[in-house]
Amino acid sequence: MVDVLLIVPPSPKPDRVCVRDKGAMGFSKAGYTFPPYDLAMIAANIRDIASVKIIDANANKQNFISLSQMINNHRPNYVIFSNSTPTIDWDMNIAKISKEIDPSIITMTYGPHITALGEKILLDYKELDYAIINEHELTIKEIILRGNKNEIKGCISRNGEAIINNGYREELENLDILNFPAHDLLNLRVYSLPYAKRAPLTATMTSRGCPGKCIFCCSWLISKKFRARSPDHIINELKYLSEELKVKEIKFWDDTFTYNQKRIFDICKLIRKEKIDISWVCNTRVDSISEPLLKTMKDSGCHTICLGVESGDNEILQYIGKEITVDQIKKGFEIAKKSGLHTAGFFMLGHPHETTQSIKKTIALANILQPDYASFNIVTPYPGTPLYQLAVKNGWLNRSDWNRFESTLYPVMTLDTVTPDEVHSLFKNAYRDYYLNYRYIFKRVRQWKNFATIRSDFRSFLGLLGMIHEDSK
C-alpha cells in the first residue's frame, strides 16, 4: 500500500503518446515522450508526509485495466492524475476507476483546463473530489495535512452537493523552498525527445511564469508572474542528476529560459565550474537572447534552443500579442546558428485574421530559417485564454467536444478569413514539404553520429508520417 498514487493516464490513441504537462496539450507529433514534470514535483514535495508512487501509463503504454489492478493492489488514500483539454473526458476515467475500487479514495487533478473550468468539472464528474488551481505542490500538501476543504487556497472542492471555490493560492516567491522533482521515482529510460543527443534524459524548470502576452497561451493561467530558482539550487539538482542518477540529457522546460540573462550566465558559469556532464535544451524567445549568452550556453552543454516563431506575418504577430517582428525572428535564428547551436522553431497556423497568404508566409519563413526541427501547429483556443474568449464572442467555434481541441487535428475554429479545410490542408502540406525535402533529409543524414541518433531520427520520422496521414477530421 502507498498513501498517494500519482498517475499519468493512458493515451486515448494507442499509436500516439500524450503530452499533458506544464500546460502542454495533446499528442506528440514525432513519437517523443516527456517525463511527467508536474507529478514529479508533487511527489518530491509530499513524500516527507506520505508514501508516494508515480505510474506513467502513457509512457509505458498501459491501459485502464492494468491501472485498475494497480490501484486495487496499492489501495491508496489519494489518487492524483494529470490531464489536458483534448483528453479531459478520457482522463476522468482515473477518478471513476478509483471510486469504483474504493469510494473513500480522494481524487484530485490539476492543470490549465482545471484552473479555467474547475467548478464545471466538479459538477460534471462526481468522482472528482478536488480541482487544484495553482501552486499544486503546496496546495496538495496542505490538503493531505489538513483536509479542510473550506479553507485551503488553490483548490476547488465539493462539500456535499455544494462546490467550494477557495480561490488562488498566493504565488510562491521563493522557489528554493520547494524540493526539485522526484526524478528517482521515474523510469527515465522510457522518455525521449527528437532533439535529445544522449540518454537517459529528464526535464525540469528553473523558473515559473512568463511575462508574455500571447493570446493563445494557457501557461499563464497557472502563473504569469516570473519567478526564478537560485543558480545554486539549480546546480544542486544538476549535480544530483548527473552523479546519482547518471542522467546525461535535460530539457529545461521554462516558458522563457533566458528571460533574465544574467541569471543564465551565472548558471552556466557554475555548470562549468562544477564540471557537470549534462547536455541540455531550453525554450525561449528570440528577443531574449544574445550572441555572447548563446555561446556561453553552448560552452556549458546546451546544444539546441527552441524558439517560438508563431507567425511569419508582422500584423499577425502584433495581433496575437507575441510582441516580436519577423526581422527579430530572423536575427534570433541567425545568432543561434552562429553560436553553434541547433534550433527548433515553433510555428502556428490559423490565427484570428489569418489568410491563406499569411499562413503561406509562415511556412515560407520556416523554410528560410531552416531550423533543425520545425513544429507546425494548428491554432487552438484553450479554455481560459483570451483566444478562447474571442472565439466564443465571435462565434468562431465549430466544435464543442474537448477531444477535438488539439493542435494536430482539424481546426475547431471557423474564421472569417480562411476556412478550416484550407488551414488543415496547409498544415499537412507544411510538414510534408519541410521534412520530405531532399535538402532537409541530406542535412539530417550529415548529422548522424552514431546508431542512437539514426534510431531517434527514424522514430521521429515514422511518428511524423503517422500524424500526417492520420484522418483527423
Q: Return the percentage of the chain with pLDDT > 70, whole number.
A: 92
Task: Write the pLDDT tens digit of every residue in 162-221.
Answer: 899 999 999 999 999 999 999 999 999 999 888 888 999 999 999 998 888 899 988 877
User: Residue 238: which of 247, 225, 229 has the closest Cα?
Assistant: 247
CB 20 within 8 A of CB 58: yes
Per-residue pLDDT at 148: 65
Domains, the chain, in order of start with CATH, read: 4-165 (3.40.50.280), 193-468 (3.80.30.20)
Edge-to-edge strands, sheet with 302-310: 201-204, 249-252, 279-284, 302-310, 342-349, 373-378
d(CA 256, CA 239): 23
Q: What is the average per-residue pLDDT within 68-87?
A: 95
Task: Indicate whether 49 pLDDT > 90.
Answer: yes
55 phi/psi in degrees, rounded to 5: -120, 115
Query: In the structure, what pLDDT confidence band is assigned to residue 231 with cuts at 50, 70 and 90?
Result: very high
What is the spatial distance between Cα 48 and Cα 43, in angstroms, rounded to a whole number? 9
DSSP state of 260: S
Neighbouring CB atoms inside 10 A of 233's CB total 16
Alpha-carbon span 115 to 218, nearest angstrom: 10
- Answer with the residue of higher pLDDT: 466 or 155: 155
Q: How many residues appear in the chain?
A: 473
pLDDT surpassing 80 at residue 463: no
Number of neighbouring beta carbons within 10 Å of residue 174 = 10
Q: DSSP class of residue 246?
A: -
CA 113 to chain centre: 13
What's residue 236's pLDDT?
A: 97
Highest mean pLDDT out of 167-171, 327-331, 429-433, 463-467 = 327-331
pLDDT for 193: 86
CB count within 10 Å of CB 469 equals 10
Chain segment 99-127, per-residue pLDDT in tens: 999 999 999 999 999 999 989 999 999 99
- Supply the mean pLDDT for the chain: 91
Residues near 56 by beta carbon (within 8 Å), at least 6 away in sequence: 8, 36, 186, 187, 190
Residue 299: its H or E element:
helix 291-299
Cell numbers representing residue 434 in the block: 519541410
> Which of 92-101, 377-386, 397-406, 427-436 shows the lowest per-residue confidence on average (mean pLDDT)?
427-436
Q: Identify the burial level of 50 via C-beta atoms within 10 angstroms of its C-beta, where 0-12 means exposed, 13-18 middle and 19 or more buried.
A: middle
Q: Which of 80-94, 357-371, 410-424, 451-465 has the lowest mean pLDDT?
A: 451-465
The model's pTM: 0.93
* Separation CA 227–CA 174 (nearest Å): 8
For position 420, what pLDDT does the model report?
96
- Lowest mean pLDDT: which of 189-193, 342-346, 359-363? 189-193
Please check whether residue 109 is in contact with residue 82, taking contact to mean a CB–CB distance below 8 angstroms.
yes
The pLDDT value recorded for residue 219 is 80
Beta-bridge mates of residue 227:
208
Q: Dump pLDDT digits (tens) for 237-286.
A: 999 999 999 999 999 999 999 999 999 999 999 999 999 999 999 999 99
Q: Work out the average pLDDT over 391-397.
A: 96
pLDDT at 31 over 90: no
| C-alpha torsion angle, residues 304, 298, 271, 175 (rounded to 10) | -50
User: Of 382, 391, 317, nearest to 348 (Cα)?
Assistant: 317
pLDDT of residue 86: 93
* Mean pLDDT, rounded, for 323-328: 96
Cis geometry, peptide bond prior to residue 200 (ω within 30 degrees of 0) = yes
3-state secondary structure of 347: strand
Cell numbers 485495466 correspond to what residue?
A: 65
